[in-house]
Structure 1
Amino acid sequence: MISALAKGASYLEQGRKLNQHPSIRPFVWIPLIFNMVLFAFATYYAITWIYQVVMGLSFQYDFVSWLDWLEPIVAGFAGFFGWILVVAGALLVLFVVGSTFTMVTNLLASPFLGLLAEKVEARIHTPSFVEHTIAQLLWRTLKRELRKLSYLLVRVFGLGMITLVLWFIPGLNMINPVLWFLFGSWVMAMQYVDIAADNNGVPFQETLALLRGRRSEAMGFGGVVMLLVSVPVINWFIVPVAVAGGVVFFVTHYSPVPQNSAVNVETKKA
């Protein structure tokens, strides 16, 4: 399992290297600009909110006089657990903001992401599809993103209800960020592998089946993406890299790729 997680994470590094090729680099810029603008706003408001919460954090207790000796003890415990809740809440906010704005970027820039994925796949092997123009990609990629959004919203609602219940249960509320991170990792893998799948005419349900069959690798890939979209400034640059990494994942596990394709990712020059 550990090796599968590591292998999944390695697809992101392969994607980064592919994006550096001169024939691909021009197609990186538009998704990168979309992502930088959206995440700059998202990061600012998330950090502002967390700062206001932390600065306003206080724990006041009104004890009757004969229990005054307990006040420092209770206040100390409350302060300790309160800070844990703040940290957990801050992590949760970063995860949610990161994944949400990634989905927004993917929706708005979907034709450009599809075009980038086509160029990346063409660097790895000869694709099964004819390359498209932005106009041809526009409606198809938008429909696919809306399909993924409907898949996501139902599950976000369900996980949100679980989060709400757990938030009021001491101890158990600490697992909320873990649940959201695991869910976000799956969503990130689904999102970026499906761009290449859509280019190849693979139905969305088949993409999900592919990911379920390689769950550990999918979680390794998506987990690294999820971590990076949660880190301010770094998350500005992650989308084009994740698109390329998703192509590598898809080509490796779905497309009929020559045995030396992994070498091509590293060494193919022109």
Structure 2
Amino acid sequence: MRPASPVPTLSPRPRLSDFFQGVGVLGRAFRLIFRSRRLLLLSSLCAALTAVALVALAVLLYRYAPGLLESVWARPESWYGRAAWSVALILGALVAWVVGANVVPPLLLTPLQDPLSEATEAECAQADAVLSPASFLRSMTTGLLHTLARMALLFLGLAVLLPLNLVPGVGSLAFTVLASVWTMLWMAAEHLAAPMTRHLYPFAQVRRMLRERRALCLGFGAGVYLLLWVPILNTFFLPVAVVGGTLLYRGLREAGDLPPPPDALGPANPSSGGRPEAK
């Protein structure tokens, strides 16, 4: 008997409880990875490379973060000033580590992300085949442009929030909280966009899902964010996020929130006025 589909069944209308369903997508992703030999192999390779990247980031921050902070804020002489400086250092380093973890490993593992997403759809028996090499090239080009746009958006949001650190007292705490929420939303966009880009959806569709399914996407992004703080499991954060984002994409397709992907539409039919033929 074939196991139940790992694709989440989403409510037809957005609701606040979708947040917990978004977090639960990660559990579905973990179960699917350990159920599939191919996904487990790809995920293990991703985890090994991610572990190296995360350790390297931690070492670099440990060595250079204090000096970077001192270059903009000299270490105070008073005990309360040093306490505030230390809090700013810790909070800033934590945010920098999360941002680095979401930039460095994905760049290193770019060649493995599409195979992971494709294998996930194959396990769900719901893969949409790319029609031609031209579609594959369009997908690669679109994916690169979207990745650059998403990374620029991440850093732009953090740059807007950065001056909060100059506010005495609660400034650093406010920056950490708001930067974390921004990063969660960005994580949701990043990993939902991966399978959508592969199927040639425009980035406007990703933004629409973030807007219309805010609680669901925020829950998914929060789950990935929290996974980064769990020792050992955090090395699996990228493959779990890729698999989870693909499952979320399939769930949105089944719920009717997304139209059929552009790469699943046939060539224009002259008798239908140039409109794509329905499959």
Structures share fold, TM-score greater than 0.5: yes
Report if aligned partners of 2:95, 2:176 keep a CA contact under 8 Å in 1.
Answer: yes
Aligned residue number for residue 210 of structure 1: 209
Cross-structure match for 1:96: 99
2:76 aligns with 59
1:233 to partner: Cα distance: 4.8
Tell me the distance in 2 between the aligned counterparts of 1:150 and 1:30. 27
Partner of 2:276: none
Pick from 40, 44, 50 the counterpart of residue 35 of structure 1: 50
Give the letter for the 1:180 counterpart.
A
TM-score when scaled to structure 1?
0.74
Q: Is 1:44 paired with 2:59?
A: yes
Unaligned runs of 5+ in 1: 61-74, 258-270
> For this pair of structures, how many residues does the alignment match?
237
- Paired with 2:50 and 2:97, the residues of 1 have a C-alpha distance of 16
1:82 aligns with 2:80: no
SS at match of 1:254: helix
Q: Distance in 1 between matches of 2:138 and 2:109?
A: 12
* 8 Å contact from structure 2 (residues 43, 239) kept in 1: yes
Structure in which a larger fraction of residues adopt helix: 1
Change (3 A) 1:182 1:82: same
Q: Percent identity, aligned pairs only?
A: 21
Name the counterpart of 2:218: 219
Q: Which residue of 1 aligns with 2:245?
A: 246
Pairing 1:16–2:15 present: no
CA contact (8 A) 1:111 1:141 kept: no
What is the alpha-carbon distance in structure 2 between the residues aligned to residue 202 and residue 30 of structure 1? 28
- The residue correspondences of 1:110-129 to structure 2 (distance < 5 A) are 110-129=110-129
AA aligned to 2:191 is Y
Question: Where do residues 154-169 of structure 1 align in structure 2 (5 Å cutoff)?
Answer: 154-163=153-162, 165-169=163-167
Residue aligning to 2:272: none
Query: Cα 1:37–1:82, aligned 2, differ >3 Å: closer, same or farther?
Result: closer
The structure whose Rg is larger is 1
More deviation, 28-37/5-14 = 28-37
Shift in alpha-carbon separation, 1:83–1:148, aligned structure 2, 3 A: same
Q: TM-score, length-normalised on structure 2?
A: 0.72
Distance 2:67 2:232 in 1: 20
Name the CA distance, whole Å, in 1 between partners of 2:67 and 2:155: 26
Letter in 1 for 2:128: S
Unaligned stretches of 5+ residues in structure 2: 1-14, 257-279
Alpha carbons of structure 1 residues 110 and 89: separation in structure 2 relative to 1, 3 Å: closer
Offset, 1:245: 0.7
Query: Which residue number corresponds to residue 41 of structure 2?
Result: 26
Distance 2:29 2:101 in 1: 20
Higher relative contact order (CA 8 A, sep 6+): 1
Q: Report the 3-state secondary structure (helix = DSSP H, G, I; strand = E; otherwise coil) of the residue aligned with 1:11.
A: helix
Given that 1:15 and 1:244 are in contact with CA atoms closer than 8 Å, whether structure 2 keeps it comes out as yes
